[in-house]
Structure 1
Amino acid sequence: MNAQIIGQMAVSGALMGLVYALIAYGFQLTYATSKSINFGQGELVMVSAFFSLTLTNLGLPYWLMIPGGLLFGAVLGLVVERAGVRLALEQKSEGWILLSIIIGLFFFSAAENIWGRDDRPFPTPISADPIHVLGVDVTRLELSVAVGVLAIMGAIELFKRRTLLGKAFEAVSADRDAAELMGISATRTVMLSYGLSGAVAALAGILVSPITTVGPTMASALILKAFSVAVVAGLDSGFGVVLIGMFLGALESLASFYLGSGWREAPGLVLLILALAVRPTGVFGKATIRKV
């Protein structure tokens, strides 16, 4: 087999894997502050993509549609936090698991009733013509995925490390009770994390939709892979989800090429099973010691 073809498949898959990494990063944001994750994150990706497509169809320029879509995603994240997470956390129960799934199903049903069940193309001004880079052909559309993912993850990490509000985020992540004793509102910080997670989901939808089209079922195709990336990398390593996401994307592409498209989902499931069986904290996760 030509090494150039293998390299081409691996690079294209790795760039797609960055979308999985971005959605997994949304899991990390909420887990850091509340030890909860939104199991309806895939539906946030899908609904935000449909909303962004609607803005485009109404004539809004592409570069203005992006902040509009991000704001809408952030609002959806806040809705999930208020309706499905806050009360469960206050009662110290695990009810947020079921509630986030139910809200995700509601978003799915709403999307089918508002936009229909058919997949739709997502127009973009970014060219899909390939350019030759280091021996492989990469489209500007694929490069825009890499730029978008790394840009928003870098911006959020910079926000967390350089701003006062971001310091509060880090404080609640380290020790919620101690942060509240210092006058930091844990509730507002959790709201912030869910808002950022929703914005991240919206950007993932905007980036991947020109490649895969927009449809109600796109959530199910993305969420399991993103969850696999989050678990394998660990729920506290932003750098880790990028590496594991790219690795899984490349592995999927090669598995599809060698074994057939029906095996495309297998690598993610295998990695998830191995991670849960061998290292539940993730490759880049840190083991925690609980005092009893």
Structure 2
Amino acid sequence: MPFSIYAQMAVSGALMGLVYALIAYGFQLTYATSKSINFGQGELVMVSAFFSLTLIDHGLPYWLVVPLGLLFGAALGLVVERAGVRLALEQRSEGWILLTIILGLLFFSFAENVWGRDDRPFPTPIPTDPIHVLGVDVTALELSVAVGVLAVMVLIELFKRETLLGKAFEAVSADRDAGELMGISARRTIMLSYALSGTVAALAGILVAPITTVGPTMASALVLKAFSVAVVAGLESGFGVVIVGMFLGALESLASFTIGSGWREAPGLVLLILALAVRPTGVFGKAAIRKV
């Protein structure tokens, strides 16, 4: 079989893997400041996609729908922080695990009752005609996913490193107690991290919806793979999630093509098991040294 076919499958899978990386990046943003994760992140992806589709159905142009969808995602992230995370963190408990799952189920039920259970197409002005590049065919839609994912991650990293608010984010990430002693509000910083995580989830929904369609279960598989990417890469490495996400996407595509579609999910599970068994801190993570 020609090598070009394998190259085509690997490139297409790697571009899809960037969506896993983007959702995994949302996990990293909240973990950095609060050591908590929103286990309802997939529902934020789905509800934001439905909201954006509703705006399109009401006649709003695509260029306006995208920023409004991102703002909606940020608002959902703040809801999760206030309703499911804040009190648990203040009480130093792990209750946020169950609360974020419950909020995710509520968002899922809300979507089913408002928009229905059927999958719906997501219109986009981005053309889907293939472009021949270096021996493989890619579409402008697939390239838009890559550009969108990398652009938002670069912007957030620049924000964290070049602005005072971003430096507060990094300070709380490094040492929450020391940051508070320096006058930094840990609560507001955690709120910011959840708002950014919601924004990232909304962008993932808008980018992937034209490819997968919009439905209540559209993100159920995506978020599991994204969590695998976050754990394998390490919950503190933005660069790592991009590499691992692309690798997982390419591996899934090749496994589905060569072995069968029934084995498509196997690579992510194998990677997660190996990462937890061999390097629990992640491939790009750093072991934390604690004084006792």
TM-score, normalising length from structure 2? 0.99
Alignment of 1:212-223 (within 5 A): 212-223=212-223
Q: CA deviation at 1:262?
A: 1.1
Matches of 1:149 and 1:172, distance apart in 2: 25
Letter in 1 for 2:113: N
Q: Which deviates further from its counterpart, 272-281 or 191-200?
A: 272-281
Q: CA deviation at 1:218?
A: 1.1
SS of the equivalent of 1:138 reads strand
Which residue pairs with 2:5 in the alignment? 5
Which residue pairs with 1:152 in the alignment? 152
Alignment of 1:127-166 (within 5 A): 127-166=127-166
Which portions of structure 1, spanning 4 or more consecutive aligned residues, are displaced by more than 4 angstroms? none
Which residue pairs with 2:47 in the alignment? 47
Determine whether 1:273 maps to 2:245: no
Which residue pairs with 2:37 in the alignment? 37
TM-score, normalising length from structure 1? 0.99
Alignment of 1:202-281 (within 5 A): 202-281=202-281
SS of the equivalent of 2:184 reads coil
Unaligned runs of 5+ in 2: none
Alignment of 1:106-121 (within 5 A): 106-121=106-121
Which residue pairs with 2:26 in the alignment? 26
Matches of 1:289 and 1:166, distance apart in 2: 25
Matches of 2:265 and 2:47, distance apart in 1: 23
CA displacement, residues 79-120 of structure 1 (integer Å, 9 cap, x when unaligned): 000000000000000000000000000000000000000000
Matches of 1:13 and 1:47, distance apart in 2: 25
Matches of 1:219 and 1:138, distance apart in 2: 23
Matches of 1:196 and 1:287, distance apart in 2: 26
Q: CA deviation at 1:290?
A: 2.1
Alignment of 1:69-218 (within 5 A): 69-218=69-218
Q: CA deviation at 1:239?
A: 0.3
Which residue pairs with 2:58 in the alignment? 58
CA displacement, residues 126-181 of structure 1 (integer Å, 9 cap, x when unaligned): 00000011110000000000000000000000000111100100000011001000
Calculate the aligned-residue CA RMSD, in Å.
0.5
Identity between Structure 1 and Structure 2 (%)? 87
Matches of 2:14 and 2:115, distance apart in 1: 31
SS of the equivalent of 1:218 reads coil
SS of the equivalent of 2:219 reads helix
Unaligned runs of 5+ in 1: none
Letter in 2 for 1:186: A
Which residue pairs with 1:291 in the alignment? 291
Number of paired residues?
292
Q: Which deviates further from its counterpart, 239-248 or 216-225?
A: 216-225
Letter in 1 for 2:92: K
Matches of 1:108 and 1:19, distance apart in 2: 20
